[in-house]
Structure 1
Amino acid sequence: DEQLLEHTQKLNEAQQKVDQLVGAQKRLHGILGGQMQRKSAESIDPKQDSVGSRLGRAMAKIAELRELLGITTRRQNESFAETAALREQLRLERDQHSALRAVHTTQSAELETSRKSEAELSAQLAGLQTSSSERITKLEQEIADLHAAEKRRLELEAAFEAAAAAPPMPTPSIAVQKAPPPVQPSGFSAASGGFSL
């Protein structure tokens, strides 16, 4: 952006110089035209005494005008050359300005594309982070479940081992009482094997 501003200022300065030179050339042409008209009018002055003196003054004025015209022509040629150089410089500055604008436009487009790619990558990264976080949480839960199952298994094994190592408990003795003999009917004798007569 700073380069573009600098080239724009140079273009404006070069254009102002060209305009100033063109204006100076126009003013110089106007001044020369007026001087030549005045010189011509003075060279044909009817009040002069003799033709010879008028002719001498006219020749001197013509020589002066030729010298002035030569100086003016040289200055004009120098002005034309300077104007042409400035115009060429202005053209080069404009071409460089256009090239910088094209580069700036290309860089802006590349920057916009880079920003879009960065936004897409950020979105993808956020999605991957979310998915990874969910998977990590799930794996941590599965690991916790496995640890809990292993802990229960170890507790059961310890309980079984403790039960196997303990001495057998004594069984309590139960006294069996015999039933009383049945009551014999009257006249029954066990010794005689039956009833007595």
Structure 2
Amino acid sequence: MLGRRVIGAFFAVVLIIAVVTFVLGYLLLRPLFYGETTDLSDISPFASENAIRAIVDSVDASVNAIQIATVDDIELIAYSSNTRLDQLGGSPMSVNQIYQCAIVTATGRVDGTTFIADQISILPSAEATVGTFRADVIVDTADLLPIPDPRVTPLTSLTRGMRLDLLGRCKNWIAVIAPGGTHGWVEREFIDLADDQLNRLPWLPLDPARLRP
């Protein structure tokens, strides 16, 4: 009887050691395989109800990702792929189009491309919105800019009553096609755009010319 108890206690100790080793190993090695999670909920230009997380890691080379990257700072421009990607802690998902304007600083492994974990909004392609949303200029003059930055030289001036095709948005800037076909950015306050229409526009890269049909 004593021998059985000793054997049982031995196996219990071994089991406890194995569990502790597994948990510690997972916590220590997980960043090497999955990268660090950067929570964008505070800096994201998306609506507050969308919980957004980005995982920076290496993935299969067949994945078609579009991004601008330096060593640690990655600007998520777009993600378009039919490849099934492994989510963090979950089953795969199929990603079609995702737009993000925020800068992600990763502290984990950054030697590949970028993939999106769970709790991300799948947004419509920008091309699909062309001709769907239009808005009129409501000020006497407004600058049409090549990027959403008031410090740059305008492409042209917009005048009151001009009707613009809306491509999408980045924060408080709207990407538009002006009469004549010029692509650019205009501040939201200069056009007649209701909140419900604004919230239905996709988030875009900083250069709307990339999205020409």
Regarding TM over 0.5, the answer is no
Please state which structure has a larger fraction of its residues in helix: 1
TM-score (norm 1): 0.24
Larger CA Rg, structure 1 vs 2: 1
Q: Greater strand percent: which structure?
A: 2
Which protein, 1 or 2, shows the higher relative CO under an 8 Å CA cutoff with sep ≥ 6? 1
Query: TM-score scaled by structure 2?
Result: 0.22
